[in-house]
Chains A and B, each alone.
Chain A
Amino acid sequence: MSQSTKAPPSGFHPASSSDYLPLAQLRELQFARLQAMVRRAHDHQTLYRERMAEKGVSPGDIQSLEDAAKLPFTVKTDLRETYPFGLFASDIHDVVRLHASSGTTGKPIVVAYTQKDVNVWTEVMVRTFAACECGPGDVIQNAYGYGLFTGGLGAHYGAEALGATVIPISGGNTDRQIMIMKDFGSTAICCTPSYFMYLCERALEMDIDLRELPIRAGIFGAEPWSDQMRQWAEKMSGIKAYDIYGLSEIIGPGVASECKAQAGLHIFEDHFLPEIIDPETGEVLPEGEEGELVLTTLSKDAMPMIRYRTRDITNFLAEPCPCGRTIRRIKRIGRRSDDMLIIRGVNVFPSQVEAALLAVEGTLPHYQIILTRVKNLDEMAVQVEVTPEAFSDKVGAMEALHRKLSHAISTTIGVRAKVSLVEPHTIERSLGKAKRVIDQRQI
């Protein structure tokens, strides 16, 4: 039950009409697009041509939506290994936009968009905002980071096309965010949920009551967050807090969104075909069973993705949604099937920390990552044991080592981490897989 005290505008946005397609029509549309996408991937992307050949599958074998299960999977490392442009299906001259996300040891994952892809992205973002009960009369404060990260520009184009008044404020500088929220009369804010909580507390310190401001909607994504966090955020500010989902590999934000019911996220499945698989066996699971979300792009030109394994664990929600949308819902995503961490909205793998340590010291010392949430912001501490090889009698050398480690880790993962040198045997040894991460955050 929403704790929001401020009413959203009523009204239906024409861009949302695809959300309500009769099922038969939706499935026909998906099938036609899937066939064309598989043909395109086969003809223009070496990776898929090779993988399909290995599996003995040709584009003509896709005779139904269920036949998607015949197609090969794609995983994150496929994008790393084809850096930078190895997965493009379009000529670079037709690519109007490039984005990148942080990757291990400095090499990011690159994604590309033709003009048509940008138009599709804009469309799904308009539908996202509309699902979150936003419309042309809104003043939208976009605090997602602008730049190579897909969040900022993705939300921006969508909010503009929606017809709203857009404030491209990007991330950071919380005092200014609050001042502008108040002075410009923002009615909606886009940011990570933990950043919003941080902002709420800062507003309290500044003696500003967000409940008295026009702000009435929060479009939150990029990290998992609990129902308790939602209730807290809504109570503190009077907004209605909506969960959105996306990933750069597929398009950016705009893959799925909650609606007014706030009971699961609708996948814009006319553009992204979803499947739930068993992460161990790769088998497609019956509807309703929990497993790993796999997505196939149905409309992408520059970089089609066939059965991309997201590593996110969820299931389809069977009952029709009270909002009337026919596009299927997935349960809010709470956890992953791999060891990826999300720190302040940034994807971080422990292996990246290892690579940084190895690069500096030449060997891998025992280390541990400790995650805490201080004033609603994620803090990452990395403890590194001092080895006999690394230890120097000179203070200056030890300080230089500390600086080098801090720099290497922070630049590799893209998040500022507090590195401390600790004595040997401080970090617990384990017989099996070392427990590298201690996550003390409670979401």
Chain B
Amino acid sequence: MKINQLSVFLENKPGRLSEPCKALAQAGINIVTLSLADTQQFGILRLIIQDWEKAKQVLEAGGCVVKITEVVATEVADRPGGLTEILAVIEEAGVNIEYMYAFTFRSQDKAVLVFRFDDPEKAVEALKAKDINILGPVELYGMASG
């Protein structure tokens, strides 16, 4: 049920972000979505990629330090209140959100939320109990290419 997200360490210098993106483009790898966390010193680039294993190889061959983190993707209705409903469930379950980001697909009226939880099992249990759709890899990447 978990999605494998790639995290890449980037120095906060011009050109450091385009390097890995170029490498992926050259390898013909498409990015489903990404998020960039920044500090003054450095950034962490987080990528959702279908062929994440190949992407990891490509990035490491290019000299990047890459980590795989398991994240949870949920479906959310693309309307006001959609996000709040999901957050309420997570809060009630007492799970901490380390970080999150969101994106939509062209052909859908639903959006996707990507979460890193401190306790992913507990979060998934609580979400499922409230009939919130957790997207596994097949579904997520299916939506992406659909």
In this complex, the interface size class of chain B, counting residues with CB under 8 Å from chain A, is 20 to 34
Q: Does B16 contact A (CB under 8 A)?
A: yes
A391 touches B39 (CB 8 A): no
Which of A388, A402, A421 is the one whose CB lies under 8 Å from B11? A421
Q: Mark B1-14, 1 if CB is under 8 A from A, else 0.
A: 00001010111000
In the bound complex, how far is the Cα of B42 from the Cα of A402, in angstroms? 10
Interface residue SS majority, chain B: strand
Expressed in whole angstroms, the minimum distance between the Cβ of A429 and any Cβ of chain B is 12
Interface of chain A residues 379 through 412 with chain B (CB within 8 A): 386-388, 391-395, 398-399, 402
List, in ascending order, chain A residues with CB within 8 A of B69's CB: 393
B41 touches A423 (CB 8 A): no
Docked pose: A393 CA to B70 CA in angstroms: 10
Find the residue from B7, B63, B65 having the highest chain A CB count within 10 A: B65
Q: A386-B9, A391-B9, A393-B116 are in contact. Are A420 and B41 (CB under 8 A)?
A: yes
Cβ contact within 8 Å between B65 and A388: yes
Instruction: Tell me the bound Cα distance from A224 to B37 in angstroms.
Output: 45
Q: Distance (Å) between the CB of B95 and the closest chain A CB?
A: 16
- Considering the chains assembled together, what is the distance between the CA atoms of A423 and B67 in angstroms? 13
Does A377 touch B at the CB level, under 8 Å?
A: no
Compute how far the CA of A81 lies from the CA of B92 in the bound complex, rounded to whole angstroms: 59
Q: Which residue of B has the minimal Cβ distance to A420?
A: B41
Chain B residues with CB under 8 A of A420: 11, 41
How far does the alpha carbon of A392 sit from the alpha carbon of B39 in the complex, in Å? 14
Known contacts A387-B65, A391-B65; A423/B44 CB under 8 A: no
Chain A residue nearest to B7 in the complex (CB): A393
Cβ contacts under 8 Å, B9 to chain A: 386, 391, 398, 421, 423
The answer to whether B83 has its CB under 8 Å from any CB of chain A is no
Q: How far is the CA of A159 from the CA of B89 in the complex (A)?
A: 75
The chain B residue sitting closest to A388, CB to CB, is B65
Is B97 part of the binding interface, using a Cβ–Cβ cutoff of 8 Å?
Answer: no
* Contact call B37/A423, Cβ cutoff below 8 A: no
- 7 closest A-B pairs by beta carbon, nearest first, are A393-B7, A393-B69, A425-B63, A391-B65, A386-B9, A395-B37, A424-B65
26 interchain pairs, CB-CB under 8 A: A386-B65, A387-B65, A388-B65, A388-B66, A391-B7, A391-B9, A392-B67, A393-B5, A393-B44, A393-B116, A394-B98, A395-B44, A398-B9, A398-B39, A398-B42, A399-B39, A420-B11, A420-B41, A421-B9, A421-B11, A421-B42, A423-B11, A423-B16, A423-B65, A424-B64, A426-B11
Query: Which residues of B line the A interface, CB within 8 A?
Result: 5, 7, 9-11, 16, 37, 39, 41-42, 44, 46, 63-67, 69, 98, 116
